Amino acid sequence: MASGGKIPTTGGAGLKQNPFGTLSGAGLPAASAVPGETAAGPGTLKIPPPPPPKTPAKNRGRVDILRETGGRGGKTVTVVTGFTGIGLPEKEQLAKKMRAACGCGGTVKDGRIEIQGDQRPTVASILAEAGFHPVFAGG
């Protein structure tokens, strides 16, 4: 044994046996760089394609996207209302995604998502990805 009570890993002599010594490659297909093909020829081994990416449930309901300026000192705010069946944590998560995509501020107030500026097209695309049916309402 090596000093310090460690088993050397250089040749396997300290292990007394090679755990892979009795294994052979008989009956196993050879490795191939192209999926779905082996060294024996194309089409010998079929590897199924990966499953498509999981998409959220479509038709989670209609949501209205409004543009408001009243009571805000002339500042424009994009407001998303009409959520049904989702709680405050999911609304906050959607608002965070919208703020990041738009590069602006926003908040969740009274069950509505408010994003600073006129960001309706960007907000609509994020809501559509999440499975909602966005509708532009108002002016």
Q: What angle do CA 94, 99, 105 make, to 5 degrees?
A: 125
- In angstroms, the CA 135 to CA 79 distance is 12
Q: Where are the alpha helices (DSSP H) in the chain?
A: 88-102, 120-129
Could you give phi then psi for residue 84, rounded to 5 degrees? -130, 135
* Least confident among 16-30, 49-63, 71-85: 16-30
Residue 57 lies in a domain: no
Residue 93 lies in a domain: yes
Confidence (pTM): 0.58
Q: How many residues are given for the chain?
A: 139
Range of the domain at 88: 74-112
Q: CA-CA distances (angstroms) from residue 42 to 28, 36, 45, 50?
A: 16, 7, 8, 19
Other CB atoms within 10 Å distance of the CB of residue 102: 19
Residue 91 lies in a domain: yes
- In angstroms, the CA 79 to CA 77 distance is 6
pLDDT in tens, 75-115: 999 999 999 888 999 999 999 999 999 999 999 999 999 99
Answer whether residue 127 shows pLDDT above 70: yes
How many distinct structural domains can be found in the chain?
1
Residue 33 lies in a domain: no
Residue 54 lies in a domain: no
With cut-offs at 50, 70 and 90, classify the pLDDT of residue 138. confident
Q: Are 99 and 114 in contact (CB under 8 A)?
A: no
Residue 78 lies in a domain: yes
Longest dimension (CA), the chain: 83
pLDDT in tens, 39-53: 555 555 667 777 777
